[in-house]
Amino acid sequence: MKEHAKLSYELLKSTDLSEETLNLIKNHHDPESIEEQILSMADIYSALREKRSYKAEMEQGTGVGNNFKRNGSGKFHACVYKALVNYADAQEALSKDYGKRKFFAKMSFWPSL
Contacts from 38-42 at CB under 8 Å and sequence distance 24+? 38/80, 40/76, 41/72, 41/76, 41/80, 41/81, 41/84, 42/84
Q: Which amino acid is at 108?
A: S
Neighbours of 90 (CB within 10 A): 11
Domain ranges of the chain: 31-106
**Of the listed ranges 17-21, 33-37, 94-98, 109-113, the one predicted with least confidence:** 109-113
For residue 56, the SS3 value is coil
User: pTM of the entire structure?
Assistant: 0.67
Give per-residue pLDDT as tens, 25-46.
998 888 888 998 888 888 887 8
